[in-house]
Structure 1
Amino acid sequence: MAAATARRLLRPASSAAKFSTRRLLSSASSPPSHRSSNTNSPVAFDWSDDDESSSPPPPPAKKPNLPPPYDPFNKKPAPAVAEPADPTNLQEIFHRMRAEGLTDYAVKMFDGLSKDGLTHEALELFAVIKDKGTMPDVVAHTAVLEAYANAGPAHWRDAVRTYDRMLASGVAPNAYTLAVLVKGLAAGDRFAEAGKYLTDMLDRGMRPNVATYLAAFEAYVRLEKMEEGRVLLETMKGKGFVPSEEAVRDGTVKRGHIFRGIMNLLFDK
């Protein structure tokens, strides 16, 4: 419901968001000086110095068709956020970002923050887009980061570089940004990196949701890195983290060695 409402209300800002998205993705300049996280910046996502990475394609020449304006009398629910059919096809994903803008990504972030109880952050995001007609930099950077994270283990370095470029540009990540990074790294078996950014969340005063910390600790169990996982857990507890046994039981498959390993690692059971 929150996602559908946000999608309808964000439609008037789509035109400005698209043009700023094309400018952001097509820029090849060096990282700019520190800027506010509520402005658009010409940040480069060109990893041409690394043969293993995939940089976004050049912007399309044709002006994209804009969506219809928001109709407050239309009671038809907004369509769900469409996920890419092939998450490994980065060229197509980046092309769609330029052509269609970042409204879908903003809706996903708004919905994710709202579900985690971060209503204030979600409303701040919404206000920037709706009232100022601009797409916050955190949405643009997270969209690119998420594309790399979902593209598979081969692109984990690109995801981390995008995050580093985000920080260098003076853009503050939110809980959704770091959750995307942690879960993407964990899915690619980069358990140490996932643990590092899970700790980063706590250092930034964020509380990782159960899906995020479970993804990281499941990677430790899956790769039989139990001792390293316990070190991470103790570090996180020292920063105020307390895992919820009920939430973990609800969010974990109740069978197999992964579940038993998670319960042993987190709760000594």
Structure 2
Amino acid sequence: MAAAAARRLLRPASSASLSNTFRLFTTSSPPPNRSPNTNSPVAFDWSDDDDADNSSPPTPSTSNSPDRPPPYDPFSKKPAVAEPSDPTNLQEIFHRMRTEGLTDYAIKMFDGLSKDGLTHEALALFAVIKDKGAMPDVVAHTAVLEAYANAGPKHWRDAVRTYDRMLASGVTPNAYTLAVLVRGLAASDRCAEAGKYLVEMLDREMRPNVATYLAAFEAYVRMEKVEEGKALLESLKGKGFVPDEEAMRDGTVKRGHVFRGVMNLLFDK
């Protein structure tokens, strides 16, 4: 029922109008004297980080790229946008953010929210871009956070600091933001930190999707911290969390000992 309602909300009167609607992501021009990337200045400086390197996150750019991605299709099974060939090359990723803008990141966020059933939140995001001609601040911060989260274990602190800077700037994260942070920390074997932000998702009345909580609990099993994982599970259940066994089995191809360990942790199997 919810999925059908989401499709109706996302489906305009015709497929042509669907393409025209999402082409606004790539063809709308910003108002004069406004950055096309964000609706307020966003600056990031981790110069005090022990692990800092020569790459630095982008500041808002006024340049427009002549190359535009194709119109967004929410019903395609392909990734919303192409991932960088080398996620560890932060210098190149941040350079592309500066020169090409954040359209791809807005599309990824829209796609992620929509697939999680958060259609109204996704459309509200799109409305800011369409009606105000500006990129929401949550997109800019999440784009930088996601770059750090995907860059490997040595950048996990940068991802967390970006999130903290986001909150300090008065920007409210959405479910996509926190899912990116949880999965990035889990992939870096920071299971305690991943668990912390999984709890925060529930505190913010967000429902983590299967991929997000599976990643977190896999990290606990992989790091042989099953008891800590069980303690996290009890904390989450106290906040109304119920893991979906069927979705977990259907949504992953992993069948190794880590997956079996997660199933045992979550369902005593």
Same fold by TM-score greater than 0.5: yes
User: Which SS does the other structure have where 2:28 is aligned?
Assistant: helix
Aligned to 1:11: 26
**For residues 5-55 of structure 1, what are the alpha-carbon distances to aligned partners after superposition, in whole Å with 9 as ceiling and x for unaligned?**
465221233556996367x7xxxxxxxxxxxxxxx2223211112231245
8 Å contact kept, 1:148–1:155: yes
Aligned to 2:35: 20
Choose 11-20 or 115-124, whichever is displaced more.
11-20
Within 2, Cα distance between the matches of 1:9 and 1:62?
18
8 Å contact kept, 2:42–2:140: no
The structural deviation recorded for 1:110 is 0.2
**For residues 182-202 of structure 1, what are the alpha-carbon distances to aligned partners after superposition, in whole Å with 9 as ceiling and x for unaligned?**
000000000000000000000
User: Which SS does the other structure have where 1:20 is aligned?
Assistant: coil
Within 2, Cα distance between the matches of 1:61 and 1:160?
24
Aligned to 1:152: 152
Q: Give 1:139's aligned amino acid.
A: V
Q: CA RMSD in A?
A: 3.0
Task: Kindly indicate whether structure 1 or structure 2 has the higher relative contact order, using CA contacts under 8 Å at least 6 residues apart.
Answer: 1
Q: What percentage of aligned pairs have identical amino acids?
A: 77
For 1:150-229, list aligned pairs within 5 A: 150-229=150-229
* 2:137 aligned with 1:122: no
TM-score (norm 1): 0.82
Q: Give 1:8's aligned amino acid.
A: R
Within 2, Cα distance between the matches of 1:264 and 1:127?
43
User: Which SS does the other structure have where 2:192 is aligned?
Assistant: helix
Within 2, Cα distance between the matches of 1:242 and 1:57?
37
List alignment gaps of at least 5 residues for structure 1.
25-39, 72-77
For 1:1-269, list aligned pairs within 5 A: 5=19, 7-13=22-28, 15=30, 20=35, 40-54=39-53, 55-56=55-56, 63-67=63-67, 81-253=81-253, 255-269=255-269
Within 2, Cα distance between the matches of 1:18 and 1:192?
44
8 Å contact kept, 2:58–2:97: no
TM-score (norm 2): 0.82
Q: Give 1:13's aligned amino acid.
A: S
Within 2, Cα distance between the matches of 1:257 and 1:17?
57
User: Which SS does the other structure have where 2:35 is aligned?
Assistant: helix
Identify if the C-alpha distance between structure 1 residues 15 and 67 changes in structure 2 by more than 3 Å, giving closer, same or farther: farther
Q: Give 2:42's aligned amino acid.
A: V
